[in-house]
Protein backbone atom coordinates (compact mmCIF):
# COMPACT_ATOMS: atom_id res chain seq x y z
CA UNK A 1 0.00 0.00 0.00
CA UNK A 2 1.27 3.48 -0.78
CA UNK A 3 1.64 6.29 1.75
CA UNK A 4 -1.81 7.69 0.91
CA UNK A 5 -3.46 4.79 2.73
CA UNK A 6 -2.36 6.22 6.07
CA UNK A 7 -4.54 9.27 5.43
CA UNK A 8 -7.72 7.44 4.41
CA UNK A 9 -10.08 7.44 7.39
CA UNK A 10 -11.45 3.91 6.89
CA UNK A 11 -7.92 2.47 6.79
CA UNK A 12 -6.85 4.42 9.88
CA UNK A 13 -10.00 3.25 11.66
CA UNK A 14 -9.40 -0.43 10.89
CA UNK A 15 -5.74 -0.17 11.94
CA UNK A 16 -6.62 1.63 15.16
CA UNK A 17 -9.42 -0.80 16.07
CA UNK A 18 -7.26 -3.87 15.45
CA UNK A 19 -4.12 -2.51 17.10
CA UNK A 20 -2.89 -5.44 19.26
CA UNK A 21 -2.24 -3.03 22.14
CA UNK A 22 -5.96 -2.24 22.10
CA UNK A 23 -7.73 -5.41 20.91
CA UNK A 24 -7.29 -9.14 21.49
CA UNK A 25 -9.88 -11.40 19.85
CA UNK A 26 -9.22 -14.10 22.48
CA UNK A 27 -10.58 -11.89 25.26
CA UNK A 28 -14.30 -11.41 25.91
CA UNK A 29 -15.05 -7.82 24.84
CA UNK A 30 -16.16 -6.19 28.09
CA UNK A 31 -14.55 -3.46 30.17
CA UNK A 32 -15.80 -5.09 33.38
CA UNK A 33 -15.32 -8.87 33.39
CA UNK A 34 -18.02 -9.34 36.04
CA UNK A 35 -20.49 -8.06 33.43
CA UNK A 36 -22.00 -10.76 31.16
CA UNK A 37 -21.88 -10.58 27.39
CA UNK A 38 -25.43 -10.93 26.11
CA UNK A 39 -25.54 -12.61 22.71
CA UNK A 40 -28.79 -12.61 20.77
CA UNK A 41 -29.23 -15.47 18.33
CA UNK A 42 -31.69 -15.86 15.49
CA UNK A 43 -32.00 -17.90 12.33
CA UNK A 44 -33.30 -17.05 8.92
CA UNK A 45 -34.41 -19.85 6.59
CA UNK A 46 -32.43 -19.78 3.37
CA UNK A 47 -33.34 -23.07 1.69
CA UNK A 48 -35.28 -26.29 2.31
CA UNK A 49 -33.07 -29.07 0.97
CA UNK A 50 -35.22 -32.09 1.75
CA UNK A 51 -38.13 -33.31 3.86
CA UNK A 52 -38.53 -36.94 4.92
CA UNK A 53 -41.88 -37.48 6.65
CA UNK A 54 -41.26 -41.15 7.34
CA UNK A 55 -37.99 -40.47 9.20
CA UNK A 56 -39.36 -37.16 10.53
CA UNK A 57 -36.41 -35.05 9.53
CA UNK A 58 -35.76 -32.05 7.37
CA UNK A 59 -32.52 -30.71 5.90
CA UNK A 60 -32.25 -26.94 5.80
CA UNK A 61 -29.80 -24.21 4.94
CA UNK A 62 -30.15 -21.33 7.38
CA UNK A 63 -28.39 -18.10 8.18
CA UNK A 64 -27.34 -17.98 11.82
CA UNK A 65 -27.38 -14.39 13.08
CA UNK A 66 -25.59 -13.43 16.29
CA UNK A 67 -25.46 -9.95 17.81
CA UNK A 68 -23.58 -8.63 20.82
CA UNK A 69 -21.93 -5.45 22.00
CA UNK A 70 -18.14 -5.28 21.83
CA UNK A 71 -16.95 -2.64 24.30
CA UNK A 72 -13.56 -2.39 22.59
CA UNK A 73 -14.82 -1.60 19.09
CA UNK A 74 -16.02 1.95 19.65
CA UNK A 75 -14.64 5.15 18.16
CA UNK A 76 -15.35 8.84 17.72
CA UNK A 77 -16.70 9.36 14.18
CA UNK A 78 -15.32 12.92 14.13
CA UNK A 79 -11.80 11.50 14.21
CA UNK A 80 -12.45 9.19 11.23
CA UNK A 81 -14.19 11.26 8.57
CA UNK A 82 -17.64 10.79 10.19
CA UNK A 83 -17.53 7.01 9.67
CA UNK A 84 -20.01 5.47 12.11
CA UNK A 85 -20.05 1.86 10.86
CA UNK A 86 -17.40 -0.46 9.50
CA UNK A 87 -16.91 -4.08 8.51
CA UNK A 88 -14.04 -6.11 9.96
CA UNK A 89 -12.91 -9.65 9.12
CA UNK A 90 -14.72 -12.21 11.30
CA UNK A 91 -11.43 -13.82 12.31
CA UNK A 92 -10.11 -10.50 13.65
CA UNK A 93 -12.79 -9.99 16.32
CA UNK A 94 -14.03 -11.89 19.37
CA UNK A 95 -16.77 -14.40 18.52
CA UNK A 96 -19.02 -16.25 20.94
CA UNK A 97 -18.73 -20.04 21.17
CA UNK A 98 -22.14 -21.10 19.88
CA UNK A 99 -23.29 -24.67 19.44
CA UNK A 100 -26.65 -25.92 18.16
CA UNK A 101 -28.05 -29.01 19.83
CA UNK A 102 -31.10 -31.21 19.25
CA UNK A 103 -30.26 -32.29 15.75
CA UNK A 104 -29.31 -35.57 14.08
CA UNK A 105 -25.61 -34.98 14.70
CA UNK A 106 -24.41 -34.53 18.29
CA UNK A 107 -23.48 -30.86 17.94
CA UNK A 108 -22.84 -28.22 15.36
CA UNK A 109 -20.52 -25.25 15.76
CA UNK A 110 -21.82 -22.06 14.19
CA UNK A 111 -19.34 -20.96 11.54
CA UNK A 112 -18.99 -17.24 11.15
- Counting runs of H as helices and runs of E as strands, what totals does the chain give? 1, 4
Which CATH number covers residue 90? 2.70.170.10
How many independent structural domains does the chain possess?
A: 1
The residue among 8, 16, 5 whose CA lies nearest residue 75 is 16
The pLDDT, as a whole number, for residue 57 is: 86
Q: Are 13 and 80 in contact (CB under 8 A)?
A: yes
The pLDDT, as a whole number, for residue 106 is: 47
The pLDDT, as a whole number, for residue 105 is: 55
Per-residue pLDDT of the chain (112 residues; tens, 9 = 90+): 556 666 899 999 999 999 999 999 999 999 999 999 999 999 999 999 999 999 888 888 889 899 999 999 999 999 999 999 999 999 999 999 988 776 665 445 566 5
The pLDDT, as a whole number, for residue 98 is: 87
C-alpha to C-alpha distance for 96 and 63, rounded to whole angstroms: 16
Domain extent for 18: 3-109
Amino acid sequence: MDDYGEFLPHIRLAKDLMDPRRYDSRVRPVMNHSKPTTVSFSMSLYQILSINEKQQNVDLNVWAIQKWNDDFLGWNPYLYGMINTTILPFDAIWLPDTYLYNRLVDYFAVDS
